[in-house]
Amino acid sequence: MSRVYVIIFIMLAFCGDLFAQYSEDDYSNKGFLNQYWNDIKSISTNSLSPQHYPDWKLLTYAGLTSIFILSHDMEFHEEYGLEKQYGRFSLPKSLAEIGNFYDKPGTLYFTAGLAGAMYGSGKLFNDQKLVQTTHLMVKSLIITGIFTTGLKVLIGRARPYTADNPHKFKPFNFKFNTDYMSMPSGHTSSIFAMMTVIAKQYDSWYVKLPAYTFAVSVAFQRMNSRKHWGSDLIIGGTLGYLIGSAIVNKYGKNSYGYRLQPAVSSNGVGFTLNF
């Protein structure tokens, strides 16, 4: 089994429901910056608090996995490149092609288009849950970007296209030299944050499956373009999932709109409509 398929399994594993519920809280009337600052503090303290055992399970899992992949990043990278060159790496290559839909227009344009479509549809059809989901998605994106950029600067890891090994670091990169901002992957953390919000707001398999598949495809696109090492993807995906989950658990409401789900019983097969 190819080593890179291990990364596929690991990235898909982030799709599980591993987070404890935060206390529900409504939006306050505090200032914009103050609200974001309080959210950042809340995410930091709650996610690292011993009371939130499921968060610790994910963090421990992601940490151990990242250490393993970090020690084999060069092997993953070389094998990925060789198999892609000879056309034997169909699944990651196909996923990377899907991920281009996020990278080619630029993350800001993609996010603006998605958020605009969701918000406009929510207003047009008076769907308050869709409007709220848009707000939560953008909020998670902004907060994830703050955490991701901070880690990139502090770690200062060289990107694959600039180094002949994955262990070249220039920490405290306060000049924001992009060649040394590989870990964590910003594309991966941002798309996981947004897709996690959507998947958790609309808790159905037919929403989760495409949402997380797209998130994983973006991760592989970043490795395919030689912008990131494998461990960058794991850390980025974990960070985005963690923040997206925390935002939904804190602000999300499940009382808006309806949910259509398949139902199977001894009497037959059908659907249930939950209001």
List pLDDT tens digits, range 172-204.
999 999 999 999 999 999 999 999 999 999 988
- Structural domain boundaries, residue 202: 3-274
Percent of the chain with pLDDT over 90: 36
State how far the Cα of 135 lies from the Cα of 118, in Å rounded to an integer: 10
83/41: higher pLDDT:
41
Q: What angle do CA 105, 218, 63 make, to 5 degrees?
A: 140
52 pLDDT above the threshold of 90: no
Structural domains in the chain (count): 1
pLDDT in tens, 245-262: 888 988 875 544 444 444
Residue with tokens 């996010």: 111
**205-224 vs 73-85: helix crossing angle, rounded to 10:** 90
pLDDT band at residue 164 using 50, 70 and 90 as cut-offs: confident
Say which CATH number the domain at 48 has. 1.20.144
pLDDT band at residue 271 using 50, 70 and 90 as cut-offs: very low
Alpha helices in the chain (DSSP H): 3-13, 32-47, 53-71, 73-85, 90-103, 107-124, 128-155, 186-201, 205-224, 230-251
pLDDT in tens, 8-29: 454 454 443 333 333 334 444 4
Mean pLDDT for 47-63 is 57
